[in-house]
């Protein structure tokens, strides 16, 4: 059987990229195998055969990590297959979704499923880059209606010491950018604009490459977009909403107006079976209203100026038992963040296709239904929660102290109590306050803001909006989140509903975001000017020791006997973590117990020298001498001949069990045996 392989090649950053189309996965609408270096992905796209009910476009993007791709067998002892997607895989799926979604006609009601399966990973070439390109190529050559192609480019910049300066991924069609992920260490606005230009310049060639593939093997696109022939229905809806829409959104009664429209449609005998279409038309009319109000009349639905932030409020230290807490409110968005500090043993072990290691700083974001007034059972974190938490963590990472300066594992949980616009950026602010309240030496305050865009159909008339709320987020054209300190940007994330944005819009948006960020930081500083000097009394205290790496075994002991004994002596109220280089972290809430354990560890690796004076307690009497406890599981022996000058008939004539003695070391063998003398002290 012939697979009829057709291979197309191009270059990115001087390296070959290939797209292969064949009979593999032949029951899809299209499939391609993309290769960048030795990283290989399979991208498949499938569209359902019938329209689904509802008022939204049913697109799903899945990113499937395969451990075999990196030559790994991981999992639990009893389960050695892939389970639910890792957070990293979920973020990769979101990245691809955000780049391709704006280019679909959202009137499409056919279920569309995109799957990226990583077949090989060489640890050098990011699967996200070739994954997005392969998905775009598959959609472009398929019969699925789509207005692509798109492509993405990535850059990583580090300083001389290997520290991160910036990491960015930009994607979009030929003439604009529609998706941004950026992490930086206080980048200036001009630096961010430079990255925009650098990565945007790489996109057109990859788009042209895909156009050439489509010319060669592309299928005819099917016409499955529902026709808009609902003039009677649209007229009825407009008659209901036009007199009320401005007041309804000014008074935050948009849902009430939607309900009134649906009741009016259902009550009409000729229209009652068109509920889905009525919802879609209502959304279109509200979208047009929001655009018209801003572009033609220069007014936001809540009356704010285009660069105006809603009322702000910050608090810290809300609870006495938790290690740190911060509350941040911006308009109708409220986030409570709680920080917990733990020892090194609390670090999260991360095992994915791309990564094996430990995570010391964790930020988990929760979004319960009550935050938007909805009832229903709470479920685990979904893609949105994972994405928002990752963004807030990215915004703060540059300010998190290094382990050698602050040897704690740090976990922040951001609880969204109410949401009306950018709870992820509110989480960044609340988390920063919470960390500072916990005594984490954050160098500077970090704040975030969401910037919106209203653009006309020509693409020339637009308004940029600071601090977008519900309607502006839902019906606007851009969600542009920027976080950073007073001195620079630490994170940017952008999604759009249009084809994309150009550099002038990007530059204006980050400038407007800076002004807002400075205003928010001013409010945060009033709640807490700087990180607290000490951690909470309820947080563990950590002492760092350094021991010779070849002495680690002596501290641990056979089968962990020594280290477990030290912990047991503290009534299991301390934790001891030893790293391969000999770094030891001793932690516990009771500082006295921590210090006692530190002394024991130090004693266990101490190198004794002849002539040194020691203090110890007699723990055993033998016929020929006495054993003295030196601490740390070490002991020395006073031979009967070293007890005093002259003949000693019986050891107990000089020392007894339990006596505290001062002795001089007279022998220190390489094998650890210590000889002591009392008589040589005289």
In a shared domain, residues 472 and 430: yes
Domain membership flag for residue 303: no
Q: What is the pLDDT of residue 149?
A: 98
In a shared domain, residues 46 and 191: yes
pLDDT tens digits, residue range 128-174?
A: 999 999 999 999 999 999 999 999 999 999 998 889 999 999 999 99
Provide the edge-to-edge strand list for the sheet that holds 409-418.
312-316, 324-330, 333-342, 409-418, 361-366
State how far the Cα of 38 lies from the Cα of 18, in Å rounded to an integer: 11
pLDDT at 287 > cutoff 80: yes
Q: What is the pLDDT of residue 77?
A: 63
pLDDT at 191 > cutoff 90: yes
pLDDT tens digits, residue range 392-444?
A: 999 999 999 999 899 999 999 999 999 998 999 999 999 999 999 999 999 99
Q: How many domains does the chain have?
A: 5
pLDDT band at residue 614 under the 50/70/90 scheme? confident
* Structural tokens at position 190: 């001009």
State mean pLDDT over 257-285. 84
List strand residue ranges (DSSP E) for 143-283, in order.
151-158, 164-172, 179-187
Choosing from 503, 527, 551, the residue where a domain stops is 527
In a shared domain, residues 125 and 246: no
Average pLDDT, the chain: 92
In a shared domain, residues 68 and 11: yes
Q: What is the pLDDT of residue 322?
A: 96
In a shared domain, residues 166 and 121: yes
The better pLDDT of the pair 384, 633 is held by: 384
In a shared domain, residues 102 and 126: yes
Closest CA to 485 of 452, 525, 528: 525
Domain membership flag for residue 512: yes
Report for 51-65, 323-337, 551-565: range of highest mean pLDDT: 323-337
37-51, 159-173, 201-215, 377-391: least confidently modelled range: 377-391
In a shared domain, residues 422 and 365: yes
In a shared domain, residues 247 and 330: no
Q: What is the pTM of this model?
A: 0.89
pLDDT at 672 > cutoff 80: no
Closest CA to 138 of 48, 40, 21: 21
51 assigned binding-site residue: no
pLDDT band at residue 630 under the 50/70/90 scheme? confident
Q: What is the pLDDT of residue 494?
A: 97
Closest CA to 551 of 517, 573, 583: 583
- What CATH number does residue 642 fall under? 2.40.50.140
Domain membership flag for residue 441: yes
CB 150 within 8 A of CB 135: no
473 assigned binding-site residue: yes
Domain membership flag for residue 1: no
The better pLDDT of the pair 190, 251 is held by: 190
Helices (H), 68-188: 87-100, 127-141
Domain membership flag for residue 287: yes
Domain membership flag for residue 305: no
- What CATH number does residue 156 fall under? 3.30.230.70
State mean pLDDT over 317-330. 96
pLDDT tens digits, residue range 349-404?
A: 877 777 778 899 999 999 999 998 888 777 778 899 999 999 999 999 999 999 98
* Structural tokens at position 71: 């030559």
Domain membership flag for residue 226: no
Matching residue, tokens 């600071």: 466
In a shared domain, residues 248 and 339: no
State mean pLDDT over 285-298. 93
pLDDT band at residue 76 under the 50/70/90 scheme? low
Could you tell me what percent of the chain has a pLDDT over 90?
61
pLDDT band at residue 682 under the 50/70/90 scheme? low
In a shared domain, residues 241 and 113: no
Domain membership flag for residue 180: yes
Choosing from 604, 635, 658, the residue where a domain stops is 604
CA 381 → CA 60, 84, 387, 397, distances in Å?
Answer: 17, 12, 10, 21
Report for 35-49, 228-242, 357-371, 587-601: range of highest mean pLDDT: 35-49
CB 61 within 8 A of CB 99: no
Choosing from 161, 189, 217, the residue where a domain stops is 217
Cα atoms in the Cβ-side hemisphere of radius 13 Å centred on 386? 16
pLDDT band at residue 580 under the 50/70/90 scheme? confident
Q: What is the pLDDT of residue 615?
A: 87
Domain that holds residue 439: 312-527
In a shared domain, residues 10 and 82: yes
1-5, 15-19, 487-491: least confidently modelled range: 1-5
In a shared domain, residues 385 and 456: yes
């Amino acid at each position: 059987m012939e697979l009829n392989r057709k291979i197309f090649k191009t270059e990115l950053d001087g390296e070959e990229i290939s797209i292969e189309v064949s009979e593999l996965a032949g029951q899809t609408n299209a499939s391609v195998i993309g290769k960048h270096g030795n990283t290989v992905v399979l991208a498949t796209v499938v569209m359902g055969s019938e329209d689904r009910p509802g008022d939204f476009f049913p697109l799903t993007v899945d990113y499937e990590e395969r451990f075999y791709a990196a030559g790994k067998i991981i999992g639990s002892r009893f389960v050695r297959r892939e389970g639910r997607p890792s957070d990293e895989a979920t973020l990769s799926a979101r990245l691809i979704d955000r780049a391709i979604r704006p280019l679909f006609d959202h009137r499409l009601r056919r279920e569309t499923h995109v799957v990226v399966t990583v077949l090989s990973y060489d640890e050098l070439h990011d699967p996200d880059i070739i994954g997005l390109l392969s998905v775009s190529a598959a959609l472009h050559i398929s019969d699925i209606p789509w207005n692509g192609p798109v492509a993405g480019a990535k850059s990583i910049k580090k300083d001389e010491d290997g520290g991160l300066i910036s990491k960015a991924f930009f994607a979009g069609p030929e003439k604009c950018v529609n998706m941004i992920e950026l992490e930086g260490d206080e980048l200036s606005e001009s630096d961010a604009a430079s990255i925009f230009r650098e990565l945007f310049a790489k996109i057109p060639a990859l788009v042209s490459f895909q156009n050439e593939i489509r010319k060669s093997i592309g299928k005819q696109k099917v016409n499955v977009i529902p026709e808009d022939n609902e003039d009677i229905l649209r007229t009825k809806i407009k008659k209901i909403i036009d007199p009320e829409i401005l007041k309804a959104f000014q008074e935050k009664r948009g849902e009430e107006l939607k309900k009134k429209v649906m009741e009016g449609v259902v009550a009409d005998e000729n229209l009652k079976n068109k509920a889905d279409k009525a919802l879609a038309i209502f959304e279109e009319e509200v979208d047009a209203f929001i655009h018209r109000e801003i572009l033609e009349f220069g007014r936001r639905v809540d009356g704010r100026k285009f660069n105006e932030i809603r009322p702000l409020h910050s608090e810290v230290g809300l609870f006495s038992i938790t290690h740190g807490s911060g509350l941040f409110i911006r308009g109708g968005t409220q986030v409570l963040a709680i920080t917990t500090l733990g020892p090194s043993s609390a670090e999260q072990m991360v095992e994915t296709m791309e990564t094996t290691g430990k995570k010391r700083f964790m930020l988990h974001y929760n979004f319960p239904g009550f935050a938007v007034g909805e009832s229903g059972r709470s479920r685990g974190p979904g893609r949105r929660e994972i994405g928002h938490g990752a963004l807030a963590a990215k915004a703060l990472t540059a300010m998190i102290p290094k382990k050698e300066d602050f040897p704690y594992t740090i976990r922040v949980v951001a609880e969204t109590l109410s949401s009306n616009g950018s709870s992820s950026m509110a989480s960044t602010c609340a988390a920063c306050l919470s960390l500072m309240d916990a005594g984490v030496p954050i160098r500077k305050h970090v704040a975030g803001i969401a910037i919106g865009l209203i653009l006309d159909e020509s693409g020339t008339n637009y308004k940029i909006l600071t601090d977008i709320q519900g309607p502006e987020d839902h019906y606007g054209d851009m969600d542009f989140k920027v976080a950073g300190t007073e001195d620079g940007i630490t994170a940017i994330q952008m999604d759009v509903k249009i084809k994309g944005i150009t550099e002038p819009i990007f530059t204006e948006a980050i400038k407007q975001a800076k002004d807002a960020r400075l205003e928010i930081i001013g409010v945060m500083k009033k709640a807490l000017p700087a990180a607290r000097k000490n951690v909470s009394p309820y947080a563990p205290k950590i002492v760092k020791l350094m021991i010779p790496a070849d002495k680690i075994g002596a501290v641990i002991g056979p089968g962990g006997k020594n280290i477990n004994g030290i912990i047991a002596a503290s009534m299991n109220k301390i934790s001891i973590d030893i790293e391969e280089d000999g770094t030891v972290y001793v932690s516990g809430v009771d500082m006295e117990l921590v210090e006692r354990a530190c002394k024991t560890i130090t004693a266990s690796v101490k190198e004794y020298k002849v002539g040194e004076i020691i203090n110890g307690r007699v723990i055993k009497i033998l016929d020929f001498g006495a054993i003295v406890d030196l601490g740390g599981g070490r002991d020395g022996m006073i031979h009967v001949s070293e007890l005093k000058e002259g003949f000693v008939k019986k050891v107990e004539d000089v020392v007894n069990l339990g006596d505290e003695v001062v002795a001089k070391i007279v022998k220190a063998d390489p094998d650890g045996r210590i000889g002591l003398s009392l008589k040589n002290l005289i």
